[in-house]
């Protein structure tokens, strides 16, 4: 009967209202015929299943293809129940065609991991790259120190996405034992992993790795240099000031990132370079420099001389930003990008 019904779908699956209705009905019928403990007709009652704690039926509802909302509700219910039996079935649907389902799976797995990390530790050995990647992300979300060793194992994974996710996850765990593995990950052959390691070091804010971060500012990959700059901004280490000032001489993206980092460090030596950056052609860079100067002015470590220099450009910082394109009668256009428009309360 299932084989014949599949043929009927091809016959009726066209753009007419009747065809769409019949095809949808047959798809639902096929699914119901292949699932036990489900009503022959009608959608699975996910709310009832959740109320009863019927994990087995909710897992079956993950495969209910006729209605994406049913799958999404089942995912949310499994996340709320937090039963570890749902981990493997959720892994199997994490690549669903529907984006909201994929997001729902990620959220549900994180909720389950917060209750029990053992299934996720076991999953680091799975043959699927996607499962190992998701397991690493969930382990990081727990902040549980028991996840450190499994994540360090994943730093040696053959897949760069898995290694990068493991590095990111280690940055979410407050434990001194993550420093050395992340230091090593800064030397990984893939820029995705090096960038993730830099961001993770920034998250744990460990001054032991500042020298390695400064060296990594010369990385060949721009995304790595940007991640390193962000990490140095979080470090609070004065050794990072001069290297970040040098980064203000590179391209727009790195100038923007360096300016933001200098604003977080709060060092007076950054005042003049940041004032110079207010004259940049890029509105993004000017705004980042202006916000950094405001942060320096309001910070506790700024001396009176530095504050006076910043106050001298207060009007320029607050001048409204004007970014517009004018089309002339002869066909050419001109781009106007003036002002900054950053609030500077005293």
Read off the pLDDT of residues 66-78 as tens digits, 9 standing for 90 and up. 899 999 999 999 9
Q: Is 345 left (phi over 0), alpha (psi -120 to 50) or beta?
A: beta
Closest CA to 31 of 47, 15, 43: 43
Give the global pTM: 0.79
Q: What is the pLDDT of residue 104?
A: 95
Q: What is the pLDDT of residue 300?
A: 85
Q: What is the pLDDT of residue 18?
A: 46
Q: What is the pLDDT of residue 336?
A: 65
CA distance 197 to 182: 6
Q: What is the pLDDT of residue 335?
A: 54
Residue ranges of the domains in the chain?
A: 1-34, 262-346
Q: What is the pLDDT along the chain (346 residues), one digit of tens a residue?
A: 444 444 444 444 444 444 454 455 444 544 454 444 444 346 899 999 999 999 999 999 998 988 999 999 999 999 999 999 999 999 999 998 899 999 999 999 999 999 999 999 999 999 999 999 999 999 999 999 999 999 999 999 999 999 999 999 999 998 889 999 999 999 999 999 999 999 999 999 888 899 999 999 999 999 999 999 999 999 999 999 999 999 999 899 999 999 999 999 999 999 999 999 999 988 899 999 999 999 999 998 889 999 999 999 999 999 888 776 667 777 766 556 677 889 998 8
Q: What is the pLDDT of residue 338?
A: 75
CA distance 39 to 265: 62
């Amino acid at each position: 009967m299932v084989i014949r019904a599949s043929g009927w779908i091809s016959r009726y699956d066209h753009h007419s209202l009747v065809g769409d209705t019949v095809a949808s009905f047959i798809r639902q019928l096929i699914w119901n015929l292949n699932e036990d403990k489900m009503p022959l007709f009608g959608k699975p009652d996910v709310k009832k299943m959740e109320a009863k704690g019927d994990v087995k039926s909710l897992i079956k509802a993950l495969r209910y293809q006729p209605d994406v909302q049913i799958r999404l509700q089942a995912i949310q219910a499994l996340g709320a129940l937090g039963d570890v039996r749902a981990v493997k079935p959720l892994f199997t649907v994490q690549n669903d065609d529907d984006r909201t389902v994929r997001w729902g799976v990620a959220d549900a797995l994180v909720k389950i991991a917060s209750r029990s990390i053992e299934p996720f530790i076991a999953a680091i050995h799975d043959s699927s790259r996607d499962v190992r990647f998701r397991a690493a992300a969930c382990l990081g979300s727990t902040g549980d120190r028991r996840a450190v060793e499994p994540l360090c194992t994943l730093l040696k994974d053959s897949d760069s996405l898995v290694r990068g996710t493991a590095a990111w996850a280690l940055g979410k765990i407050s434990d001194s034992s993550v420093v050395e593995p992340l230091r090593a990950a800064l030397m990984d052959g893939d820029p995705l992993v090096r960038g993730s390691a830099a961001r993770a070091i920034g998250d744990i804010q460990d001054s032991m790795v500042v020298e390695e971060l400064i060296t990594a500012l010369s990385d060949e990959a721009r995304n790595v240099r940007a991640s390193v700059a962000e990490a140095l901004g979080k470090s609070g280490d004065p050794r990072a000031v001069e290297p970040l000032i040098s980064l203000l001489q590179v391209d727009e993206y790195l100038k923007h990132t360096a300016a933001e980092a200098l604003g977080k460090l709060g060092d007076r030596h950054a005042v003049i370079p940041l004032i110079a950056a207010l004259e940049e052609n890029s509105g993004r860079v000017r705004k980042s420099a202006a916000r950094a100067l405001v942060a320096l002015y309001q910070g506790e470590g700024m001396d009176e001389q530095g504050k006076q220099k910043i106050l001298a450009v207060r009007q320029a910082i607050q001048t409204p930003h004007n970014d517009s394109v004018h089309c002339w009668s002869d066909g050419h256009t001109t781009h106007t990008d003036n002002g900054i428009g950053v609030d500077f309360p005293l």
